[in-house]
Homo-oligomer: A and B are copies of this chain.
């Protein structure tokens, strides 16, 4: 915070006006004569007056600031959601402050509490894996009970009662798999997942399996799950080696898609005729650049936009309306 800046009080003394006249002049109140307003403004400019928004927020009881908490900033999905949120808020005169929980539930709890401690009017959050997997929601429900508006996105916790933004994971996975089968004519598809314990991971896996079953007669589907990137890489390589008839990989999360690309790249450099279709949930720039890839575009920015919109609606109507869950549709690119 600033060492010593010009304050209303200082200016009021210098101008021989009351603090409130100065305040009203600066905020353009119609109560004040044009002449005075001009005089005050000129003087304020002269002494580089910068209003202390912090004090104003404190007085008014709200900050026009929303807090965002995401688990991982290196995943472009979250970066894009951030852009969507910032954009919407910016247009509505709100500011955004962001913190990274780094997939640590402790950090998540800490930063949420801090932010809710007066710094923000509401919180948009994507919980950590741990939060979802262990159903540890007290830090979030506590804030909601206190009256802090919360919007959840991406990873959804059913035990938390608040506004939410999700994509239709099941449908997205189903349609993508179907697309691989019908348009790409693939017959032996491997699904790769690093998120099979997560709610959305399960839904995506289900979509995959059901799409396979719908074509049961002539398509094989295999599911590969792993807990670490290295484990997945290993399993993928092994599987591809053992079964050379595999003609497609469906990655249900960012890292899985990237591993699929890297594993098949290696294969390709050995056997140039090898052609394996890769599809999946991915936002990585470079992956987007790869024309042969089928990308499930989660519309990250739109998710952000919707989350921000829900948040501002909630703030404005407070307890007016029921909590709602917004489903953003995905595109296949």
Contact = CB atoms under 8 A, between A and B. Distances in A.
Interface stretch (A48-56, A150-158, A172-180): A48-56
A76 B54 CA distance: 32
Contact of A118 (B52, B73, B289): B52
A119 interface: yes
A120 B258 CA distance: 38
Interface in A63-91: 63, 73-74, 76, 79-80, 82-83, 86, 90
Given A48-B146, A147-B5, A54 B118 contact: yes
A244 interface: no
A62 interface: yes
B99 A1 contact: no
Contacts of A61: 1
A83 B102 CA distance: 9
A50 B144 CA distance: 13
B272 A289 contact: no
A114 interface: yes
Interface stretch (A15-23, A192-200, A234-242, A280-288): A280-288
A2 B116 contact: yes
A54 B58 contact: yes
A96 interface: yes
A1 B57 contact: yes
Interface string A80-120: 10110010001000011111101000010001011011111
Interface string A135-149: 000000010011110
Q: How many copies does the complex hold?
A: 2
A205 to B, nearest CB: 24
Contacts of A117: 50-54
Contacts of A100: 82-83, 86
A87 to B, nearest CB: 9
Given A82-B100, A95-B114, A1 B48 contact: no
Nearest to A255: B285
Query: Which of A58, A107, A113, A116 has the most chain B CB atoms inside 10 A of its CB?
Result: A58
A40 interface: no
Interface in A267-321: 272, 284-287, 289, 318
Contact of A1 (B62, B83, B96, B287): B62
A3 interface: yes
A81 B88 CA distance: 25
A314 to B, nearest CB: 12
Interface of A: 1-5, 48, 50-55, 57-58, 61-63, 73-74, 76, 79-80, 82-83, 86, 90, 95-100, 102, 107, 111, 113-114, 116-121, 142, 145-148, 258, 261-262, 272, 284-287, 289, 318
- Kindly list the 5 A-B residue pairs having the minimum CB-CB distance in the complex, ordered from nearest: A54-B118, A97-B97, A3-B147, A53-B117, A286-B286
